[in-house]
Amino acid sequence: MKHTGPTQTLMPGVKMEDNEEFKFYVHGSALKQYCEDILQQRIRDLKPDIFGILLDTFMLNPPGNPWFYNLDFAPAKSIMYFPSDGGGGLTTNEKLVSGIGCNLPITCENILKKVDKPVAMARFSKVQAKEVHGINSEYIPHAIEPEIYKPLSEQEKRELRIKWSNKLQVDLRDRFIIGTVARNQGRKMLDRTFLMMKNVAKEIPEAILLAHTDKYDPATYFNPDFLMMQHGIQNKIVFTGTKYYKGFDYKTMNEIYNLFDLFYLGTSGEGFGIPIIEAMACEIPVLATDYTTTWELVERTKSGEAVKKEGEILGSWNVGRAVVDIEDSARKVIKLYKDPKLRKEYGTNGREAVLREYTWEIVSKTWDKLLRSLL
């Protein structure tokens, strides 16, 4: 194979490892992040009707480097599909509950003002942009394929537990499995998720945490092995074996979710929370920190419960972050363990909510309408 430069365009027909095929052009990047050094020329060469961006706002707002503000998108109309993963949450009337830092990343409202059409991926970020910064945006949620993420039969689940017991060398057959799917980085606060298991184990000896995360991820801020040894919970936490640089395919991920009895995410804040709707699609009840998108995804749909936050801290870019309450986490896990009927009800509600709001069939129509309105 001859060497090719970083800016070469890949033609339609590019296949991934799982044989998924891209039927569109993949334009190469260059030396700088987010194509800073070639983006203007690409727009000039391609003359697109619409130029779209999917990034956190702060990624385009490096201190002392206003390159993005100087771009000219013409002749294209521009959109930005943006998340906001901190700074409060929503109440039942979809009003913002602000916290220690209720804003978008500091000065990043100017990024949204630069584009023709900001598009929020959550109700939370749409309300936050409007109430705090006076910015009107569209709302289009993320979506999944419900024929990929789906509940399996009880017999299939029993067979799965045998299969994964052999694979992980841990007997999962008669366990109460609390599952989490999250990259092992600071924002996910997996240290508090692990410590929750210390409290849960006192009441539910057969409980384990099945963590779909890479404990050696370079983005981690703590040593998982030391923490587990320090608190004597090594035998309460099992890792699926995923790596931060290479995840599992869709079929395997559906198996992972169907191993869970409940899904837990002790996050400091989500811009949306795709693993939440993946769990919901599999009829798995959800527990998540009462912050950012939890009300709209979990409480509003009655697919689970919000876990109290112990407090808040001010994170990077002056964004508020929640600190999940370890004791309330354990209490709610134990509550759902003791109430299989409620777990079933939450699971059923979650699947119904996904089919109603978060499928590609539904969401793609909203995108189509929006994009056509810009032409």
> Does residue 318 lie in a domain region?
yes
Mean pLDDT over each residue of the chain, to the nearest integer: 94
Tell me: do 83 and 166 sit in the same domain: no
Gap between the Cα atoms of 277 and 288, Å rounded:
12
Burial code (b: 16+ CB inside 10 Å, e: under 16) for 321-353 equals: bbbbbbebbbbbbbebbeeeeebeebbebbbeb
User: Could you report the per-residue pLDDT of 289-318, keeping only the tens digit for each?
Assistant: 999 999 999 999 999 999 999 999 999 999
Task: Give the residue numbers spanning the domain of 346.
Answer: 154-357
Contact residues for 372 (Cβ-Cβ < 8 A; gap 6+): none
User: Could you report the per-residue pLDDT of 123-166, keeping only the tens digit for each?
Assistant: 999 999 999 999 999 999 999 999 999 999 999 999 999 999 99
Main-chain phi, psi angles of 181, to 5 degrees:
-130, 110
Give the global pTM: 0.95
Helices (H), the chain: 39-46, 109-114, 123-133, 154-168, 190-203, 224-231, 250-259, 274-281, 294, 326-337, 340-357, 360-374
> Does residue 1 lie in a domain region?
no
Tell me: do 336 and 368 sit in the same domain: no
Q: Is 76 helix (H, G, I), strand (E, B) or coil?
A: coil
Whether the per-residue pLDDT at 3 is higher than 70: the answer is no
> Does residue 148 lie in a domain region?
no
Tell me: do 220 and 121 sit in the same domain: no
Tell me: do 124 and 212 sit in the same domain: no
Local confidence band at 115 (pLDDT 50, 70, 90 cut-offs): very high
Tell me: do 137 and 158 sit in the same domain: no
Whether the per-residue pLDDT at 359 is higher than 50: the answer is yes
Percentage helix, strand, coil, to 5, in the chain? 40, 20, 40
> Does residue 352 lie in a domain region?
yes
Gap between the Cα atoms of 361 and 290, Å rounded:
29
Tell me: do 62 and 115 sit in the same domain: yes
**Nearest partner of 212 among 165, 158, 275, 287, judged by Cα:** 275
Gap between the Cα atoms of 321 and 228, Å rounded:
24
* Tally of domains within the chain: 2
Tell me: do 311 and 369 sit in the same domain: no
Tell me: do 203 and 117 sit in the same domain: no
Q: DSSP class of residue 244?
A: T
Tell me: do 108 and 165 sit in the same domain: no
Looking at residue 6, its pLDDT comes to: 58
